[in-house]
Amino acid sequence: MRVGENILRIVPGRMTTRRQTEPLADSPLAFGLSRQEVDSFREFCSEPDRSIAIVAAAVVDDRLGWAIRQRMPYQNEKAAEDLFGGDRPLAGSASKARLALLMGLCSELAYQDLLTINKIRNRFAHRPGSLTFKDAGVTKECMKLKVAETLLARRKRQKSSHTF
C-alpha cells in the first residue's frame, strides 16, 4: 500500500482507499476538509512519492503558518510578511513549528512530528536520484510520526468507553 493511501484512511466522509473498504466518517484528523479537498487529496495520492512528500509538507507548513497568524492579536499583512515571507525568520517550517509549540498551538508530540515531516520533506527535496517512501532512511523517519496514531488510539478508547 502506498503511503498516500495510508494517509487517506484518516480523511472524513465515506471515502475509502483502494485497498481499504471501511467508511471513514468518524476520523478525528482531517477536520474542516471539504469534499473537493478530499477528492483532490485522493488524486494527489497517485503522484510520485517525491511529489507527495514535498507538497504534503508544504500544505502542513501553510496551515501551520495560517494557524499562527490567526492567534496573533493584531493583524497587519506587512508586518506578517516581514516575519513569514521569503527568507524571513518564520519562513521555514522548523521555525514555525517552534513558534507553534511556544504559543501552545501544538503539543510536544505534534511539534516532534512537525520537525520529522520537515526532515522527510528535505530528504526528498535535496537528494538527487530516485527516492521513495520505501527507502530505509525515509521509512525510519516516517515511523517516528506519532500524532495520528495517538489520536486514533484515543478515539478508539473513547468509543469503547461509551459502549453500554
10-residue mean pLDDT series, the chain (164 residues): 38 34 40 68 85 90 90 87 86 93 93 96 92 93 87 73 54
What is the CATH number for 139?
1.20.120.330
Provide the pLDDT for residue 125.
94
pTM over 0.85: no
| Whether residue 41 sits in one domain with residue 75 | no
Provide the pLDDT for residue 102.
94
CA atoms within a 13 Å half-sphere pointing along the CA-CB vector of 84: 19
| Whether residue 123 sits in one domain with residue 91 | yes
| Whether residue 34 sits in one domain with residue 54 | no
| Whether residue 54 sits in one domain with residue 30 | no
DSSP for 73-127 reads SS--HHHHHHHHSTTSTT-SHHHHHHHHHHHTSS-HHHHHHHHHHHHHHHHHHH-
Provide the pLDDT for residue 135.
93
Provide the pLDDT for residue 152.
72
Q: Are 50 and 56 in contact (CB under 8 A)?
A: no
